[in-house]
C-alpha cells in the first residue's frame, strides 16, 4: 500500500475541501485513529478538533505527527493553517509540495495557478502565472524588460507593464510601494523573497 495521510473528521465536506486543495496527496478519511497509529504507511494525522476533542491525550503517546486543522464552523479560513501544513509536509519527500510562500501573508499555488492572500484567493491569468513562475525560479535576481518580453512572447513593453500592474494588485499590500515585485531602473524586475521563506519548497 502507498503511503498516505489520515484525516480524522466526521465532516465529509471538510475532507472534500482538503482533497481538492491537496489533489496530489494521498488522503484517507478515517473515523477512528487506532488503525492509523499502527499502520507504518500512515505518514501523519490531520485532526479536526471540532469533531475529536479527546485526541490531545492520545497524541502524547503517538510517534506520528498530529496536525490540528484550524477551522471556523468546520471550514478552513486562514492562510496560516495551510502554510503550516505544507511546512510539515516538506519533511516528507514522498509527499508532493505545491505552495511557495512569498511573504508572511501571500502564498503562490503553482498547481492551482492562484495567489492566496489572507482569506482571499486570486486566480492568475496565464500570462501572470508565467511571469510570476519565471521570476520565482530566479528569485532575488533582476531580469531586464527585454528578457521578460522574450520569455513571455510579448511584442510590446506596454503589455508587460499591464501584466505587472495586475499581478501586483494580487500580491502586494500597496501597489504604489511594491515590496515583492520590485523594479530597478538599470536592472529590470525582481521577485524579492526574504530568506525566512526559503524553507518552503515549491515543485
- CATH code: domain of residue 185: 1.10.10.10
Mind listing the pLDDT tens digit of every residue in the chain (203 residues)? 577 888 888 888 778 877 777 777 788 888 766 666 667 788 777 777 666 655 545 544 456 666 766 544 433 333 444 445 555 444 444 334 567 888 877 888 887 888 988 778 899 999 999 999 999 988 789 999 999 999 999 989 999 999 999 999 999 989 999 999 999 998 999 999 865 444 343 33
Q: What is the pLDDT of residue 15?
A: 83
Domains: count for the chain:
2
Strand-strand pairing, 66-68 and 42-47:
parallel
For residue 51, is it within any domain?
A: yes
**Could you say which of 56, 78, 100 is where a domain stops?**
78
Q: What is the pLDDT of residue 10?
A: 80
**Residues 15 and 70 occupy one common structural domain:** yes
Q: What is the pLDDT of residue 125?
A: 94
| Dist CA 168 CA 191 (whole Å) | 11
Could you tell me the pTM of the whole model?
Answer: 0.54
Q: CA angle, 160 as apex, 115 and 106 as ends, to 5°?
A: 20
**Could you say which of 22, 44, 78 is where a domain stops?**
78
Its domain, for residue 25, covers: 4-78
For residue 8, is it within any domain?
A: yes
For residue 174, is it within any domain?
A: yes
Q: What is the pLDDT of residue 107?
A: 84
Amino acid at each position: 500500500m502507498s503511503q498516505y495521510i489520515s484525516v480524522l473528521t466526521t465532516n465529509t465536506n471538510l475532507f472534500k475541501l482538503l482533497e481538492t486543495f491537496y489533489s496530489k496527496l494521498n488522503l484517507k478519511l478515517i473515523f477512528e485513529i487506532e488503525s492509523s497509529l499502527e499502520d507504518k504507511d500512515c505518514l501523519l494525522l490531520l485532526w479536526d478538533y471540532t469533531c475529536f476533542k479527546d485526541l490531545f491525550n492520545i497524541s502524547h503517546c503517538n510517534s506520528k505527527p498530529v496536525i490540528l486543522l484550524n477551522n471556523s464552523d468546520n471550514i478552513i479560513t486562514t492562510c496560516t493553517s495551510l502554510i503550516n501544513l505544507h511546512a510539515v509536509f516538506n519533511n516528507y519527500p514522498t509527499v508532493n509540495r505545491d505552495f511557495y510562500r512569498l511573504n508572511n501573508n501571500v502564498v503562490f499555488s503553482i498547481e492551482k495557478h492562484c495567489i492566496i492572500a489572507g482569506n482571499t484567493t486570486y486566480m492568475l491569468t496565464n500570462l501572470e502565472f508565467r511571469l510570476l513562475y519565471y521570476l520565482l525560479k530566479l528569485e532575488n535576481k533582476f531580469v531586464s524588460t527585454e528578457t521578460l518580453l522574450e520569455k513571455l512572447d510579448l511584442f510590446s513593453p506596454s503589455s508587460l507593464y499591464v501584466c505587472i500592474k495586475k499581478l501586483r494588485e494580487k500580491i502586494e499590500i500597496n501597489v504604489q510601494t511594491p515590496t515583492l515585485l520590485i523594479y530597478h531602473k538599470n536592472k529590470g524586475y525582481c521577485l524579492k523573497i526574504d530568506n525566512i521563506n526559503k524553507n518552503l519548497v515549491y515543485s
